[in-house]
Amino acid sequence: MKTTRRDFIKISTASAGGIAMTSPVINWMSNGKNDESELDEHKMKRYPTYCEVCFWKCAGWTYTNAEGKIKKIAGNSNDPHSNGRFCPRGTGGVGMYYDEDRLKTPLIRTGKPGSQTFREASWEEALDYIARGMQKIEKEHGPDCMALFTHGSGGKFLGHMLKAFGSNNIAAPSYAQCRGPREVAFFATYGSGVGSPEPTDIRDTKCLVLIGSHIGENMHNGQVQEMSDAIDKGATIITVDPRYSTAASKSKYWLPIKPATDIALLLAWTHVIIYEELYDKKYVEKYTFGFDELKEHVKNYTPEWAYGITTIKPDVIRKTAKEMANASPAVIVHPGRHVTWYGDDTQRLRAVAILNALLGSWGRRGGFYNPEGIHLPKFPAPKYPKIKRTWRDAFPGKYVLADLALASGMCDATIPTLDRDCSIKGWIVNGTNLISTLPDMQNTLTAISHLELLVVIDTMPMEITGYADVVLPECTYLERYDMLRTSKHRFPTIALRMPASEPLYNSKPDWWIAKELGNRLGLQDYFKYNDITELLDWQLKQVGSSLKEMQRIGVKKLNREFDDLYFQENEDVEFNTPTGKIELYSTDLEGEGFDPMPKYTAHPEPQEGFYRLIYGRAPMHTFSRTANNPNLTDLMDENTVWINPKVAKEWYLENNQYIWLQNQDGVVSTFPIKVRITERIRWDSVYMVHGFGHSNKKLSRAHGRGASDSELITNVMLDPIMGGTGMRGNFVTFLTEEPVRKEVKS
């Protein structure tokens, strides 16, 4: 069988071409006439920024032409996150600014929730409306019944406002839906989470082990760049993935694992490394706690045992374990990032952390370095009021080890129960499309139905904006200041984001929204600056810089306080764990009643005729935030469902045919999705890219394009340790015709 690019594009024109024909060419950077000329950087102005298209926060420059129009964005070469090179989404960030579907003015709902019928309102009116709503909740239920969901830079200001108001219910989906289990597992092991950007020393590694983590499609810039450096230097890459990922195609070893069995593989590797004495003896002896228990624990986890579970051959398990050991300590068993897969994720990540400890890679060149950031003093403000209750009170005794709030937990805490005296009554949702971000969409909708106030701050009309009582249009990151970026890296840096243009339409930055809302809530003492520039300049002056300097250079490199990027030879290191050691045997987990060492437990498998739904990233999109971006939809305007040829044959499916997916609970995808028959996926699974299948008609390019994985994720496998929402325990089957749908009554 053969699919040629001709065939491929031939079919896809039927749809894409259709779109191209109905919507005339967008001259996205000029009004009407095409601007023929190439850019002349010498005639352009540039403004520093850091990218908001994902959370790697690359620093760069926004270029404007002589007329002041934004033309392009490029990396800042002094920035360690980008090294002067943006990823496609960052480069295509201009499309966020030029997207003509943007939210343009505040909206107040007139129709039913979710109905997207709004009237336009002035900022005054909208903010007054919100302040009244918040005060009502404060009076009737207490300020701690307000919650903030935020994913993005502006959240800092809104969070400050909410804490001043008296609530600490502030969560990002990047924890319980993303990297939470990893943070908890590494904290339990090393007394320190992994953090973002991950301090993986990929550029100097000799062996990179990727478990799922699909770098190259997961376009987190620094890692992609460093993986390429590693390839140049001849590093061995080992990729464990049921799908032939881009990274797998660059790997010396691709282990096409059966999904949901990674812990078995990790334990078998641990077994080999311990019993064949491949571990870093000095390191293990000096720094770790519980080696003997671990040795005993993995005794029976042999490669032969794992073979039956993972379908990875024992000799491959041994060979790859040896590759890691040979590279040790310049080896990285990558902790991944989106790790909320099967509900036992903290334990899986514990196995990853343990493996790294045995290989001695934590704190070593080519392994994990010790990152350093800068702590900027906070702008003077009164102390926050004491908080009486939080979302955690809804889950007594649970998720104690979660060090950040759970977005899913806050959502659940919104649904009233008999034994809860106050459920959350008001949400402010900033820069997160909760409807497609949290699994179990129905649950999210139930929570929303119990709200008294839902405020959504976004740049685009999204699924979530449809449910809002008030929608506030934030201007894009190219049109605003934000807090300084201070994230940790090999050396500390500060990066500035400043506007390259006035906000388009009637949109406003979050710092302004938070301050205005604060004023209306009587919290003006917390916002004692007239303009954000005042705050930034004050902060910068505290560390010997100034806004003026930063406007010129964009990124300021600072020196490390100590030369402790890696452990010194024989250095005594005190780890922030109960034992002060790297805990192979976790006393913390044991204390909370969990297995101190990871075990393998089998997960349910798809029934006959069903296939495990796995999902991931496409390099040119970030979840749903880019789904309508004109520049990026030009590269990819829908997702496809990857199906193994054997499966396709059984189902008589053809390439590029549109089908509907139905999950184990009978949920059928709203939109059809195009079939991609490919050998790159196992026969027991199907794969799709997350972020498509938008139901909001106001997204002219994204509406109805592709299908949403989120709506098919109705089975959530909760991580008992920290409340992460495992999302890969869902199975789908294929419908070749649109099913008759029951009227949804609301």
Ligand X SMILES: Nc1nc2c(c(=O)[nH]1)N[C@H]1C(S)=C(S)[C@@H](COP(=O)(O)OP(=O)(O)OC[C@H]3O[C@@H](n4cnc5c(=O)[nH]c(N)nc54)[C@H](O)[C@@H]3O)O[C@H]1N2
CA–CA distance, 626 with 220 (Å, rounded to integer)? 15
Query: Taken in order 61, 502, 477, 704, is the CA torsion positive or negative?
Result: negative
Closest residue to Mo ion, Cβ-based? 178
Question: For residue 498, what are the CA distances in angstroms to 54, 483, 495, 553, 675?
Answer: 17, 10, 10, 12, 43
What 8-state DSSP symbol labels residue 178? I
HSE (side-chain half, CA atoms, 13 Å) at 166? 17
Binding track over 255-274 against other proteins, x by CB under 8 A: -x------------------
Which of residues 32 and 666 has its CB atom nearest to other proteins in the complex? 32
CB of 94 to ligand SF4, least distance (A): 12
Relative to beta strand 731-735, strand 611-616 is: antiparallel
CB of 620 to other proteins, least distance (A): 5
72: contact with other proteins by CB under 8 A: yes
Contacts (CB under 8 A) with other proteins, residues 219-238:
219, 221, 224-225, 227-229, 231-232
Which of residues 177 and 493 has its CB atom nearest to ligand X in the complex? 177
CB of 344 to Mo ion, least distance (A): 19
376 touches 494 (CB < 8 A): yes
175 touches 406 (CB < 8 A): yes
711 touches 693 (CB < 8 A): yes
Which of residues 59 and 355 has its CB atom nearest to ligand SF4 in the complex? 59
DSSP readout, 452-509? Answer: SEEEEEESS--TGGGG-SEEEEBPPGGG---PPB---BSS-EEE----SSPPSTT-B-
Q: Which long-range CB contacts under 8 A does 444-447 form with residues at least 24 apart? A: 444/411, 445/114, 446/415, 447/411, 447/412, 447/414, 447/415
CA–CA distance, 49 with 479 (Å, rounded to integer)? 10
Which of residues 217, 452, 564, 684 is near other proteins by CB under 8 A?
A: 217
The residues near 190 (Cβ < 8 Å, ≥ 6 apart) are 353, 357, 362, 575, 576, 577, 582
CB of 223 to other proteins, least distance (A): 10
CB of 473 to ligand X, least distance (A): 8
CB of 631 to other proteins, least distance (A): 6
Q: Which amino acid is at 478?
A: L
Contacts (CB under 8 A) with other proteins, residues 42-71:
42, 71
Going by C-alpha positions, the residue among 620, 655, 673 that lies closest to residue 9 is 655
Which of residues 25 and 740 has its CB atom nearest to other proteins in the complex? 25
Residue 493 has phi, psi (to 5 degrees) of -140, 160
120 three-class SS: strand
CB of 429 to ligand X, least distance (A): 9
Which of residues 427 and 623 has its CB atom nearest to ligand X in the complex? 623
What 8-state DSSP symbol labels residue 517? H
Supply angle C-alpha 321, 323, 325, rounded to 5: 70
Which of residues 247 and 532 has its CB atom nearest to other proteins in the complex? 247
The piece of 19-27, 172-180, 354-362, 568-576 that touches other proteins (CB under 8 A) is 19-27
Burial 440-474 (b: 16+ CB within 10 A, else e): bbebbeebbeebbbbbbbbbbbbbbbbbbbbbbbb
249: contact with other proteins by CB under 8 A: yes
Contacts (CB under 8 A) with other proteins, residues 560-619:
619
Which of residues 147 and 219 has its CB atom nearest to ligand SF4 in the complex? 219
Strands across the sheet containing 45-50: 45-50, 59-64, 70-75
Going by C-alpha positions, the residue among 433, 455, 432, 435 that lies closest to residue 445 is 435
Helix (H) or strand (E) holding 426: strand 426-430
Contacts (CB under 5 A) with Mo ion, residues 315-354:
338
Q: Of Mo ion, ligand SF4, ligand X, none, which one sits near residue 537, judging by CB under 5 to 8 A according to partner kind? A: none
Which of residues 545 and 708 has its CB atom nearest to ligand X in the complex? 708
Q: Of other proteins, ligand X, ligand SF4, none, which one sits near residue 238, judging by CB under 5 to 8 A according to partner kind? A: none
The piece of 18-26, 142-150, 392-400, 707-715 that touches other proteins (CB under 8 A) is 18-26
Binding site for ligand X (CB under 6 A): 52, 54-55, 151-152, 154, 173-174, 177-178, 211-214, 218-220, 240-243, 245, 257, 259-260, 262, 336-338, 341, 430-433, 436-437, 457-460, 462, 474, 476-477, 614-617, 619, 621-625, 687, 690, 709-710, 713, 727-728
Q: Is the peptide bond before 197 cis (omega within 30 degrees of 0)?
A: yes
Q: Of other proteins, ligand SF4, ligand X, none, which one sits near residue 27, judging by CB under 5 to 8 A according to partner kind? A: other proteins
Binding site for ligand SF4 (CB under 6 A): 51, 53-54, 56-58, 82, 86-87, 89-90, 219-221
Closest residue to ligand SF4, Cβ-based? 90
Site size toward other proteins, by CB under 8 A? 79
Which of residues 1 and 66 has its CB atom nearest to other proteins in the complex? 1
What 8-state DSSP symbol labels residue 145? G
Going by C-alpha positions, the residue among 78, 40, 577 that lies closest to residue 287 is 577
Residue 141 has phi, psi (to 5 degrees) of -125, -15
40: contact with other proteins by CB under 8 A: yes
Which of residues 645, 670, 700, 735 is near other proteins by CB under 8 A?
A: 645
Q: Of ligand SF4, other proteins, ligand X, none, which one sits near residue 51, judging by CB under 5 to 8 A according to partner kind? A: ligand SF4
Which of residues 60 and 518 has its CB atom nearest to ligand SF4 in the complex? 60
CB of 38 to ligand X, least distance (A): 27
Which of residues 260 and 407 has its CB atom nearest to Mo ion in the complex? 407
727: contact with Mo ion by CB under 5 A: no
Which of residues 385 and 645 has its CB atom nearest to other proteins in the complex? 645
Which of residues 392 and 497 has its CB atom nearest to ligand SF4 in the complex? 497
Contacts (CB under 8 A) with other proteins, residues 395-434:
none
Which of residues 44, 64, 74, 698 is near other proteins by CB under 8 A?
A: 74
Spell out where 186-303 has E strands: 207-211, 236-240, 253-255, 288-289
Binding track over 668-697 against other proteins, x by CB under 8 A: ---------xxxxxxx--------------
244: contact with other proteins by CB under 8 A: yes
Which of residues 58 and 162 has its CB atom nearest to ligand SF4 in the complex? 58
Supply angle C-alpha 403, 407, 409, rounded to 5: 80
Which of residues 29 and 565 has its CB atom nearest to other proteins in the complex? 29
Residue 50 has phi, psi (to 5 degrees) of -125, 145
CB of 689 to ligand SF4, least distance (A): 15
Binding site for Mo ion (CB under 5 A): 174, 178, 338
